[in-house]
Amino acid sequence: MLNKSLLTLLSVWLVLCCTQVTAQYAQEFKVNLAANKSKIINVPVGGLQALTAEWKSSIQRPTTLQYRYAKRNKSLTAWTNWSLENEAGASAASLLTLPGHVRRIEVKSTSEFDVTIRALTYNETEQGSKRFSALEANSCPCPAPAVIDRNSWCPNGDCPIVDTPTPLDPEYLIVHHSAGNLSADVDYALVVRAIYDFHVNTNGWSDIGYNLLVAPDGTVYEGRGTAAQGAHFCGANAGTLGVCMLGNFVDQAPATTAMSALTTLGYFLSCEFDIDVNSTAAHQPSGKTLTGLAGHRDGCSTACPGEQLYVQLDEVRANITTRIDAGCQALEAPQDLSASALSDGAVGLDWEAYTGASRIIIERSISVPSSYEPIAEVDGSLAMYTDRTAPSGANYYRIRALVDGELSGFSNEALLAVSSSEAGPPSVRPRLARNPVRGQIEIKDLVAPVDMAFISDVSGRTVLELNGTTPRWNLNPGQLARGKYWIMIFSGNEWYTVPMEYMP
């Protein structure tokens, strides 16, 4: 039986390693809303629906805007207020993000109004990978928090950074919420991409407004980064670094994992930029007196970051202070990395087991030890990996550990020269023998017995454990609902992902 925490970790790994974000559909609807009369919008099914609402006048605006939706053939949700707040001005509502498989959306207003609604449908594809990197540290000796780089939430490369950004020397950390209601089955990378599109295409900004973003599961995403001034604080952004917590925290409190990540970020950023999160001082651009760690609402009239998050900022400041007082403890780098040639031409990597690691990140550089790229991430309890994709020539390797959201330093480098005759075959690509219409799953082309296997939904949540060492399983009626899934298999010291569509 799989350990529950390991299942959770592997589910996160699925989301981190096997999806690419792409906006596949864009639709625009010009809607005339009669007072208290709803309009229905039918949208294609996708991984995430991102909607914007705009109107012509920045002076006259709807009194209220509400929405509800249905997933597939299910009944409609209750009416919910669509937030009319927008940092860019009063002619557009906030970004609305809805979960996957939404087919029908209804909107209404208490007053008659012409509204242009634009819907982007985002989907996930089995390409690309999300890559961890560390926040750059120039002066802080403490372990840097791990972040997902922007190429991971925009893998097509069509989200360019600002050519000539305004340099940032932050004196204040400003906390926001995205204000969108997020369901558990949403891939947060899709949400970050949607925020980018909203800030650039609706607000007219040159880039995503936030410097960093924190997902409910504690994953930190890179926005503009820590060196470029953002667009997030009441039009008075100088000296402020914006951290956005994904979600709506007007009535609901943020997840503990997200608050822990915010504390870790605050601790590192206050160390790196010499910010006292408890002190107060005048912020000249806004004309406000701000605390070192403040909420968006401290700068202008807004509900952001939501009451349920705002009331916890004192606790965040206290937790940051406690960590500072306790001193910085550097994470030891992994030890004794070695590389050896295996009989089948692959490269075997071994290292000393790293206590407390949730994940080991493996990087490789070809020909010279200066162009490292991530090639794999494995469970932190493992101390070996087989690289079956090493090309002929010099292959350099290094690894680092991920511990409680922070990255260690790199291990020693390991070098193995692979000759053309030793170069291994193409990476094994297991495949589903056939669509499991009758409930039978069979995987072809595995080269070793199955050590561990389970099924995850498209959001990465584990829904079913598969028992046995042979890659053949039978599903009982009712174990899985109709839909698309991933089969995760650990075999021969490697993880494999196989897509599956279940059609009972």
pLDDT tens digits, residue range 489-502? 888 777 788 888 88
Sheet with 39-42, strands from edge to edge, namely: 39-42, 102-109, 65-71, 80-81
Most confident of 83-97, 177-191, 248-262, 458-472: 248-262
Cα separations in angstroms, 55 against 47, 90, 445, 473: 27, 9, 56, 54
pLDDT at 127: 37
Higher pLDDT, 435 or 350: 350
Higher pLDDT, 135 or 35: 135
Percent of the chain at pLDDT exceeding 90: 39
pLDDT at 364: 94
Q: Which of 14-28, 133-147, 276-290, 424-438 has the lowest mean pLDDT?
A: 14-28
Give the pLDDT mean for 110-132. 71
pLDDT at 395: 95
Q: Is the peptide bond before 305 cis (omega within 30 degrees of 0)?
A: yes
Give the helix/strand (H/E) hosting 465. Answer: strand 462-466
Q: DSSP secondary structure string, 235-248?
A: T--TTEEEEEESS-
CA 299, CA 207: separation in Å to the nearest integer? Answer: 21
CA 249, CA 272: separation in Å to the nearest integer? Answer: 28
Q: Which of 16-20, 337-341, 424-428, 430-434 has the lowest mean pLDDT?
A: 16-20
Which of 291, 190, 288 is closest to 234 using CA atoms? 288
CA 364, CA 81: separation in Å to the nearest integer? Answer: 49
Higher pLDDT, 423 or 465: 465
pLDDT at 335: 96
229, 138 Cβ separation under 8 angstroms: no
415, 392 Cβ separation under 8 angstroms: no
**How much is the pTM?**
0.77
Residue 9 above 70 pLDDT? no
- Residue carrying the six token digits 């070192």: 292
pLDDT at 14: 32
Q: What is the overall mean pLDDT for the chain?
A: 84
Q: Could you give the domains of the chain?
A: 4-15+429-502 (2.60.40.3080), 20-125 (2.60.120.380), 137-326 (3.40.80.10), 338-418 (2.60.40.10)
* DSSP SS3 for 261: helix
pLDDT at 425: 55
101, 72 Cβ separation under 8 angstroms: yes
Q: DSSP secondary structure string, 306-348?
A: -HHHHTTHHHHHHHHHHHHHH---PPPPP---EEEE-TTS-EE
User: Hey, CA dihedral for 259, 264, 265, 269, is it positive or negative?
Assistant: positive
Which of 181, 180, 178, 248 is closest to 213 using CA atoms? 178
pLDDT at 333: 94
Q: DSSP secondary structure string, 418-460?
A: EPTTTPPPSPP--EESS--TTSEEEEE--SS-EEEEEEEETTS
pLDDT at 147: 93
Q: Where residue 293 falls among pLDDT bands split at 50, 70, 90?
A: very high
Residue 57 above 60 pLDDT? yes
Q: Where residue 361 falls among pLDDT bands split at 50, 70, 90?
A: very high
Q: What is the pLDDT of residues 208-242, one digit of tens each?
A: 999 999 999 899 999 999 999 999 999 999 999 99
Higher pLDDT, 44 or 127: 44
pLDDT at 18: 40
Q: How many CB atoms neighbour CB 405 within 10 A?
A: 19
Give the pLDDT mean for 166-194. 88
pLDDT at 296: 97
CA 482, CA 367: separation in Å to the nearest integer? Answer: 47
pLDDT at 222: 95
Q: How many CB atoms neighbour CB 64 within 10 A?
A: 13
pLDDT at 5: 37
Residue 276 above 70 pLDDT? yes
Q: Which of 16-30, 141-155, 419-433, 488-502 has the lowest mean pLDDT?
A: 16-30
Q: Where residue 465 falls among pLDDT bands split at 50, 70, 90?
A: confident
Residue 320 above 60 pLDDT? yes
